[in-house]
Amino acid sequence: MPSINVKWQKEKYTIDVDTTQPPLVFKAQLYALTQVVPERQKVLITGKQLPDDSWDGFTIKDNMMIMMMGTVGEIPKAPELIASANGSTIAPNAEEMNALYPVGMVNLGNTCYFNSCIQMLKEFNELKLDAENVRKIENGPQKLAGCVSDLIKRLRDREYAIKNKGNAVQAINAVLNLSQSFPQFEQFKQQDANECYVALLNTLIRAYKNAGIDISPYFTVETITKAKCIETEGEEELKTDSHNQLTCYINQDVRFIQTGIKAGFSEEMERNSEKLGRNAKWQKHTEISRLPKYLTVNMNRFYFKESSKTNAKILKSVQFPISLDVYDMCTQELKDKLTTRRADIKLEEDSKLERELRKKMLDKEQAEKIFDDGVALSGEFENDFGSNNSGFYELRGIITHKGRSSNDGHYVAWIRSTDDGKWRLFDDDHVTIVDEEAILKTAGGGDWHSAYVMVYESRVIKKYPQLPPAPTSAEVAASEPMEISSSNH
């Protein structure tokens, strides 16, 4: 890897250049040193200006001197829609909108883990803020939160997607600020997607709270753990905890995600017993005491392999459902509270079945008058915003990993859109529609993509209006046209 000298104004920098990565990565290195954003950089090598996407036509040698021109300034804002002669904006048609939105993200060199996390975070409705609150986040003390908020804004903005012709979004500023806020995320090297997801989510939660908005209840799982010494009577402990995700522990007996989560809820361990005055065996058991709107599950697929000094991957297949019910993992108190809304699910399913049967009894015109759109019931407890009051979840998105180690391979995000209900694969700058069967194939078991971070969202339960009484057989017969037979005499 050649080491070159870069002259900028009165300064000179020595930088290692990896020409196997696009020049945009090199410009990101320059930004980290000079704070001149790539959009403002003019890099000259032997008199020619270096583009963002290719080193073709440029020979890089050790100790060579190149020049960079550009001034420090803010990252250019997203362009406005084109205004017409009468002052109105030109709106894209539906076909253009579908073709260009949603958009992907540029891989800046091993940043697929970061791209996948951002694509997942942009799906949370609670991160859709008005302009005033967005400014509070962007101007707050946590610069990373401002960069991520700006990214989410651009990825959601359909008008921006059309104006930008559907081109992938670049996240240079955010990636650099990630490594500054969390030094373990070294720039432009493959990192662990789950660690990144947790770091970004916690950063946003803190920044939103500083701006006067509490989003933590939408992600917080609360648990109660009971620990009991099994070598003596009367020695017990009770502990409450809060988490932003559950863990699915994978071993030879785990075939389903529910089993893996429960595996972490029961454990036998050795610890000090005050009664016995020595270490003794303890049994602990954990139950969920509060459920959030968004339930994140981390598949514990990586372990440190001493021989290779890497975080090796467990390739075992672990099946997961599109619809997840966690009722039997909850405390009895929470189960009692979940009962009411769970009864509404039975009513919802009965109403749907009744509508289907009624339609079969009627002609097409009459059947079309039976509407299928019920009214969504509240999904949270009255005194606990951001909670789940049924215990049922629907899979919203997955971050998967392909490879044998967390330090290499490739991460992508699979997300179900609330706009059209379709699943999409976000593979850096490539966005494609996929079917549900492709999602279920990420259960693992080989070198294909394996589910690593899973996000479930509270199931929407609806109440349907009562149908009028069904027509009797005599009424149905009377409404049918009478068949008149004729005979020739």
pLDDT tens-digit readout, 354-364: 888 877 877 77
Give dist(CA 192, CA 194) in Å, integer.
6
Alpha helix segments (H runs only) across 125-227 = 131-138, 143-156, 158-163, 172-181, 193-210
- Quick one: tokens of 352? 């749907």
- 224 pLDDT higher than 60: yes
Architecture label for domain 220-328+386-462? Alpha-Beta Complex (3.90)
Examine the residue annotation and report whether 410 is marked as an active-site residue of this protein: yes
Which string of DSSP letters, residue by residue, matches 360-387? HHS-HHHHTTS----EEPP-SBTTBTTB
**Considering all CA atoms of the chain, what is the largest pairwise distance in Å, rounded to the nearest integer?**
115
Around Cβ 159, how many Cβ atoms within 10 Å?
A: 16
CATH of 3-69 among 3.30.470.30, 3.10.20.90, 3.30.70.330, 3.40.350.10 = 3.10.20.90
Answer for the pair 303, 314: CB distance below 8 angstroms, yes or no.
yes
Cis amide bond preceding 465, omega within 30: no
Contact 449, 402 (CB under 8 A): yes
Please say if the pLDDT value at position 75 is more than 80.
no
pLDDT in the model for residue 93:
55
Helix (H) / strand (E) containing 15: strand 11-16
Label the pairing between strands 266-273 and 310-313.
unpaired
Confidence band for 27, pLDDT divided at 50, 70 and 90: confident
Q: What local confidence, expressed as pLDDT, does residue 120 receive?
A: 97
Q: Which stretches of 441-480 are DSSP H helices?
A: 473-479
Contact between 60 and 4 (Cβ < 8 Å): yes
Q: Which of 196, 243, 410, 430 is catalytic?
A: 410
Please give the average per-residue pLDDT across 364-369, as a whole number.
70
**Which sequence spans correspond to the domains of the chain?**
3-69, 105-215, 220-328+386-462
Identify the H or E element spanning 414.
Answer: strand 410-416
Distance, in Å, from the CA atom of 384 to the CA atom of 213, rounded to the nearest integer, reads: 15
pTM of the model: 0.79
Q: Is 60 exceeded by the pLDDT of residue 332? A: yes
Q: Note the pLDDT tens digit of each residue in 77-123.
A: 433 333 433 444 444 555 555 566 789 999 988 899 999 999 999 99
Model pLDDT for residues 435-444, shown as the tens digit of each residue: 999 999 999 9
The mean pLDDT of 468-486, rounded to a whole number, is: 61
pLDDT number for residue 216 = 96
Tokens standing for 284? Answer: 């602990």
**Which CA distances in Å does 395 have to 61, 74, 164?**
51, 38, 31
Supply the mean pLDDT for the chain: 86
- Looking only at the bridges linking them, the beta strands covering 294-300 and 246-249 are parallel
pLDDT higher than 50, residue 138:
yes
What pLDDT is attached to residue 166?
84
Confirm whether 117 is a catalytic residue.
no
